Amino acid sequence: MKDPRFDYMPLAAREYSAQRQMTVGDLLLDNRIIFLDGPIHDGSANLVIMKLLFLQSENRHQDIHLYINSPGGSVTATLAIYDIMQFIECDVATYCVGLSASGGAILVAGGAAGKRFALKHSKIMIHQPYGQVGGQVSDIEIQARDILAARQLLNEILASHTKQPVEKIAKDTQRDHYLTAQEAKAYGLVDEILDRTPGDKKK
């Protein structure tokens, strides 16, 4: 319920009160910053997608900054975010913070060309998708085909953004493949390594 005293506050006081009610996430969003942390699942993906669409509706020509510190998760949820990143008109600059693994690596690599960053001590991990199969033989066959198709698709996405051959991606992702920020840049997963905010001058 709205506080009735709010209508009688001076403008500066009302603005201060409104700011006090904003969360850190709201303040970041106000600066066109989205932070994806933790596992990627339908809930977290939907929240990121809503924020991306909202920021595009606010300004179709200004960059969105997506910070990622995630171990990955659902392939379908990852691809949902990825597809929206490619679909919207705004450039999405991506930042690897801490560890961006599996689906997190896909999203970092899927940022706008020239605007994919890794923090100095961050790491990226790429691998083939995990999957569990069970049930009748016919169900197992269907699930296995789906996992193989997902693996091929993710390899092709990584290849398109890194300019690495699909065959190399397939080989490198047979096992968990960890890369430092420097290695990720050489691999083509990111464009630059940051140790301060872009545009800041060292004091």
**Among all residues, which ones are annotated catalytic?**
102, 127
Pairing mode, if any, of strands 64-70 and 92-101? parallel
Distance, in Å, from the CA atom of 116 to the CA atom of 108, rounded to the nearest integer, reads 7
State phi, psi for 68 to the nearest 5 degrees.
-130, 125
CA angle 5, 7, 9 (to 5 degrees): 75
CB of 111 closer than 8 Å to CB of 157? no
Listed residue (90, 131, 86, 107) closest to 37, CA to CA: 107
